[in-house]
Amino acid sequence: MKLLVTGGAGYVGSVCAARLVESGHEVVVLDDLSTGHADAVPDGVRLVEAGIDEAIGGVLAEGFDGVLHFAAKSLVGESMQDPAKYWHGNVVTSLRLLDAMREHGTPRLVFSSTAATYGEPEQVPIAETAPTRPTNTYGATKLAIDHAITSYAAAHGLAAVSLRYFNVAGAYGRFGERHGVETHLIPIVLQVALGKREQVQVYGDDWPTDDGTCVRDYIHVVDLADAHLRALEHAATGEHRIYNLGNGLGFSVRQVVDACREVTGHPIPADVAPRRAGDPAVLVASSERARTELGWKPERVDLAGIVRDAWEFTRSLQGA
Ligand code: UDP
């Protein structure tokens, strides 16, 4: 297929673009490089360096079989302080994309959604049938886009799939996570191992979990990317399908820090800090629907293995 990857110079987008190219697809990346990196675009892939708002019509006029839409603002804290950036940057921009796809007859969409659409869970593991009550603006904007996709699919025959990611981690060779502002646990812990931070702050050790620290579902970015390839194949005209993507295995903050110690050989000092606002105690996915309907199964479920790939990538950036 000929596919447009928005945000293909970012973390998940670049890994996905690389896997798509390896699977024989023709890929074009549209990215304004506001948070992405030009050198994260896989070899042989054309990069259109522009925003969706100004460029999407011209690009889709070339004719595409589908769009994988990763381009988004994705910092939870920032979304609370500057909601306009998120409502415009995520929702308005995605509506422009949907309208352009309609105008140019682009048949398929795979959308990068998030577990943040669910908010504080009533039950874990979280299934797609769980209530959607986002507790932050970021999650609210992603949920709004999901709603828009549902109605465009029903009314205009779009074949759409939303993938709701849990905690994406790991790397794929030279494609990995490098954010200007880092808020995610594993990259932060690895920065301590690299000597770029003195210690990691553990946000609370009095949660109702086995060791008192929060539990999350870390999914390897390559497993995640492979779900996108399957989603493309399973997208059905006029339908909007939604799948949660996680390992189904929860790891606590302490377990993550221990895995990083084991992989890096660094003592990684950790201090307990107050709880972070908006953090639920436990977020673990049920990916049963993706397993059954997409035939997808995460293969890289070992936490140390996930951390090892992230560590190799992080060190390669330092030229270590
Ligand atoms: N966390 C932490 N210290 C940090 C960053 C994160 O203790 O410096 C915790 C955070 O409270 C959460 C887990 O690690 O329980 C994962 O956080 P992250 O920001 O990576 O992902 P989130 O689950 O918020 O999407």
Mutating to test ligand 1, I would choose from 75, 202, 276 the residue with most ligand atoms within 8 A of its C-beta, which is: 276
Residue 19: pLDDT band (50, 70, 90) is very high
- Between CA 24 and CA 191 the distance in angstroms is 35
pTM above 0.75, yes or no: yes
172 CA distance to ligand 1 centroid (A)?
A: 22
For ligand 1, say whether the CB of 200 is within 6 Å of any of its atoms: yes
Whole-number pLDDT of residue 40: 97
Question: For residue range 127-178, what is the model confidence (pLDDT) as tens digits?
Answer: 999 999 999 999 999 999 999 999 999 999 999 999 999 999 999 999 999 8
User: Above 80 in pLDDT, residue 320?
Assistant: no
- pLDDT band of 39, cuts 50, 70, 90: very high
State the pLDDT confidence band at 10, using cuts at 50, 70 and 90: very high
203 lines ligand 1 (CB under 6 A): yes
Q: Span 272-277, mean pLDDT?
A: 93
**pLDDT at site 318:** 82
Q: Compute the average pLDDT of residues 299-318.
A: 95
Q: Is 11 a catalytic residue?
A: no
SS3 per-residue string spanning the chain: CEEEEECCCCHHHHHHHHHHHHCCCEEEEEECCCCCCHHHCCCCCEEEECCHHHHHHHHHCCCCCEEEECCCCCCHHHHHHCHHHHHHHHHHHHHHHHHHHHHHCCCEEEEEEEHHHCCCCCCCCECCCCCCCCCCHHHHHHHHHHHHHHHHHHHHCCEEEEEEECEEECCECCECCCCCCCCCHHHHHHHHHCCCCCCEEEECCCCCCCCCCCEECEEEHHHHHHHHHHHHHHCCCCCEEEEEECCCCCEEHHHHHHHHHHHHCCCCCEEEECCCCCCCCEECECCHHHHHHHCCCCCCCCHHHHHHHHHHHHHHHHCC
**If you take atom 20 of ligand 1, which residue's CA is the nearest one?**
184
Output the pLDDT for position 281.
92
Q: Residue 277: what pLDDT? A: 83
Say how many Å lie between the CA of residue 99 and the centre of ligand 1: 35
Summarize pLDDT for 83-115 with one digit per residue, the tens.
Answer: 999 999 999 999 999 999 999 999 999 999 999
Nearest atom in ligand 1 to 186's CA: 20
Ligand 1 centre to CA of 185 (Å) is 5
318 versus 188: the higher-pLDDT residue is 188
188 lines ligand 1 (CB under 6 A): yes
Q: Tell whether ligand 1 has an atom less than 6 A from the beta carbon of residue 285.
A: no
Catalytic residue of the set 11, 86, 118, 138? 138
Work out the pLDDT band at 199, boundaries 50, 70, 90: very high
Output the average pLDDT for the chain: 96
pLDDT band at 181 (very low <50, low <70, confident <90, very high): confident
**pLDDT tens digit string along 45-92?**
999 999 999 999 999 999 999 999 999 999 998 999 999 999 999 999
Band of residue 179 on the pLDDT scale cut at 50, 70, 90? confident
319 pLDDT more than 80: no
